[in-house]
Structure 1
Amino acid sequence: MNKVDLSNYNNTLSRKNQIARLLWSVVWMVFARPLPRRIGNSWKLMLLRLFGAKVHAKAVVYSSVKIYAPWNLEMHEYSCLAPEVDCYNVAKVTIGAHATVSQKSYLCTASHDVTVSNNPLIIAPIVLKGQSWVGAAAYIGMGVTIGQGAVVGATASVYKDIEPWAIVGGNPAKFIKKRVIND
């Protein structure tokens, strides 16, 4: 069997970062995950703030959400991380006012540089502008900005920025039509 040479691999995340994430994981698992759906939202927001998140008092975070690094999370008023969202925020994730990330979606701010033999970690932020909506089980890749009012259809995979008020879907996500609000 071939052995993998890890001697050239340097984890770019500090030991302090790793310890903070471990502590965070334990705190969330013990003090937030057991809470019933939407119960104790202000308590969960307080826990997030204790670990450096910038979350508006009117933001909503479900108990089953997985947040990798709360210090890299910013949520504005009436933004929502729905049940079982996986927020892998090695880099910053910003969720604008009235923006929703639906259940089982995956926000991924990190990957590996496959053009280098030791595949070093690479990161880039994700921004969801106000009034945007990420449908159920969608994937949002690193460095992506979802424009204001844009809609990402369920199960779509987004690797490039989405224009404001666009509706996209598929893998990779493609433009479907413009979003029109009829109030």
Structure 2
Amino acid sequence: MTLLDARQSNPREGGPSFSLRHRLLRLAWGVVWGILGRLSPVPFHGWRRCLLRLFGARLGGTARIYPTAEIWYPPNLTMGEHAVLGPGVICYCMDRITIGDYAIVSQRSHLCGGTHDPDDPHFQLLPKPIAIGAKAWIAAEAFVGPGVSVGEGAILGARGVVVKDVPGWEIWAGNPARKFRDRKRF
């Protein structure tokens, strides 16, 4: 089911942003992850990949998801080979979140795939995709906003906040994040 399929026929009238089926799937996922995912030992990455795949995530066979990571809606998550969602990461995947091969999202970072329409009297949710390129690194406690692409090999420094695209092979840091320097390609 795509996000568009999950939306109410007319959410602008103040109803829920997502269908009952979508909300029930998220509820079931929360229970399963809370019991079988969060309580699993750290090295059991294969087990957690299995749980995520059962709920629709598309994951490389070597992707690593730590037990304390929070994934909002697994069908919107795609991870490449050797990609990592570290401890305490919040992956708010209201829309597609794609994490490329060898990309690392470090501890307590936040990937926020949605916002609200501030001009809508019902303050409706607006899902927007996030793409983290191959070999990119989102450092500890960084924030990647809705609709942002972090290019291949790019780095967002610890506690950095990015709300616009980060070109490949650049190092950004700060709040708001700004380019610090280029990164050596490998």
Band the TM-score falls in, shorter-chain normalisation? over 0.9
Aligned residue number for residue 20 of structure 1: 25
Counterpart amino acid of residue 22 in structure 1: L
Q: State yes or no: 1:175 paired with 2:179.
A: yes
Counterpart amino acid of residue 16 in structure 1: R
Aligned residue number for residue 39 of structure 2: 34
Task: Tell me the TM-score normalised to structure 2 length.
Answer: 0.91
- Deviation of 1:8 (Å): 4.3
Structure 2 SS opposite 1:74: strand
- Deviation of 1:36 (Å): 2.2
Q: State yes or no: 1:113 paired with 2:117.
A: yes
> For residues 14-163 of structure 1, what are the structure 2 equivalents within 5 Å?
14-37=19-42, 39-163=43-167
Aligned residue number for residue 4 of structure 1: none
Q: CA RMSD in A?
A: 1.2
Number of aligned pairs? 175
Q: % of aligned pairs identical?
A: 38
Q: Is the 8 A contact 1:11 1:121 kept in 2?
A: no
- Deviation of 1:10 (Å): 2.0
- Deviation of 1:9 (Å): 1.6
Task: Tell me the TM-score normalised to structure 1 length.
Answer: 0.93
Q: Deviations over 1:68-115 (max 9, x none)?
A: 000000000000000000000010100000000000000001111001
Structure with the greater alpha carbon radius of gyration: 1
Q: State yes or no: 1:11 paired with 2:16.
A: yes
In the alignment, structure 2 segments of 5+ residues that lack a partner are 1-11
In the alignment, structure 1 segments of 5+ residues that lack a partner are 1-6
Q: Deviations over 1:135-161 (max 9, x none)?
A: 000000000000000000000011000
Counterpart amino acid of residue 135 in structure 1: A
